[in-house]
Amino acid sequence: MNLEEKYEWIEKYLAGKLSGEELAGFNAKVKQDAGFAQEVNLHREVQETIKDKNLHKLRSTLKKVDSGWTNPSQDGPTKVVSFPYLRWASVAAIGLLLLLAYQFLLPNPTTTLAENFDTHFQPYKMILNQRDGDESNVYQIKLKQAIKAYENENYAQSGLLFEELNREKPGQISTQFYQAMSNLAAQNTESAIVGFKDLLKKKDHLFEEQSEWYLALAYLQLGNPEQAKDILQKITPEAFNYKEARAILKSL
């Protein structure tokens, strides 16, 4: 049996694909050949490390591989590092493990920003009323449609409707806020940022603190942590979502 066939045999065993005489023969080989048993354990540990993505296990496994290179087993006929092919295979395994460690264990700034946004973003509740009144009033009809679309989480549509309302009646703080809010929920992030920044230029209104919070989230969604930090640091203890702002700051 050459090395490649032996590794395939081990992989079948670890995958539970051996049975009958083949399984009995494999178990007998493990009992009789300490070097072969060591190889089987190494394969098992590599599989478990990859599956669990556990940094502690990764380090431990790599140490054992390295130890095997410098101190080959003399207990049985199989020498774990006596063949160049096995050493090459071990190098390949280490490379794969390090790649997995980099991908799954090391911090990823983009992922962190996205996770922060997903964790803390919740569209602001709708507080505008769908007033009953003159159904010939086009503005009121469109306002009811915008509110309904927002409540139904159809944010792309509500954003367009609130935009039309703001063109018809400029300067309405509430419809400006819900236009920006709709854009953020619909991932029209740059338009949302413009809207919240315009609202923050106007002081002492109902949605000032909310605009500050959602502007910070918009920068997270856009992938700009520094500008998000600048805004989050300005949120005071008595302001809207202060605790959430501090939690995000600690993670950035």
CA–CA separation, 54 and 61 (whole Å): 11
Range of weakest confidence among 1-10, 19-28, 92-101, 140-149: 92-101
* 20 and 72 inside one domain: yes
Q: Are residues 151 and 223 in the same domain?
A: yes
Q: Are residues 129 and 245 in the same domain?
A: yes
Residue 54 sits in the same domain as residue 177? no
Do 242 and 168 lie in one domain? The reply is yes
57-to-18, 46, 47, 72 alpha-carbon distances in Å: 27, 9, 11, 21
Q: Are residues 238 and 145 in the same domain?
A: yes
Total domain count, the chain: 2
Residue 185's pLDDT is 96
Residue 8 sits in the same domain as residue 95: yes
CATH number at residue 118: 1.25.40.10
Task: Give how far Cα 149 sits from Cα of 66, 158, 178, 193, Å.
Answer: 62, 5, 11, 21
- Rounded Cα–Cα distance for residues 46 and 53 (Å): 10
Least confident piece of the model among 11-25, 74-88, 108-122, 233-247? 74-88
Q: Does the structure show a pLDDT above 90 at 122?
A: yes
Let me know whether 35 and 143 are in one domain: no
Cβ atoms of residues 147 and 126 within 8 Å = yes
Examine the domain organization and report whether 97 and 190 are in the same domain.
Answer: no
In this structure, the answer to whether residues 207 and 150 fall within a common structural domain is yes
| pLDDT value of residue 129 | 78
Q: Indicate the pLDDT class of residue 9, thresholds 50, 70 and 90.
A: confident
Distances (CA, A) of 60 to 48, 57, 67, 94, 157: 12, 5, 11, 12, 54
Tens digits of residue pLDDT in 71-117? 444 444 544 443 444 444 555 555 555 555 555 544 444 447 778 88
Residues 96 and 168 in one domain: no
Give the chain's mean pLDDT.
Answer: 79
Of 71, 104, 137, the domain-final residue = 104
Cα–Cα dist 166/157, whole Å: 14
The confidence score (pLDDT) of residue 115 equals 82
Cα distances (angstroms) measured from residue 134 to each of 115, 118, 152, 166:
45, 40, 24, 20
Res 67 pLDDT > 70? no
Residue 17 shares a structural domain with residue 96: yes
> Closest Cα partner for 161 from 174, 144, 173?
144
Report whether pLDDT(47) > 70.
no
Residue 235 identity:
I
C-alpha distances in Å from residue 138, one per residue of 109, 134, 141, 143, 188: 47, 9, 5, 9, 26
Instruction: Determine the pLDDT at residue 213.
Output: 96
Residues above pLDDT 70, as percent of the chain: 70
Which of 83, 104, 125 is the endpoint of a domain?
104
| Position 52 pLDDT exceeds 70 | no
Q: What average pLDDT does the segment 151-167 reach?
A: 96
28: containing domain: 3-104
Last residue of a domain, one of 73, 104, 135: 104
pLDDT at 191: 96
The arithmetic mean of pLDDT across residues 186-209, rounded, is 94
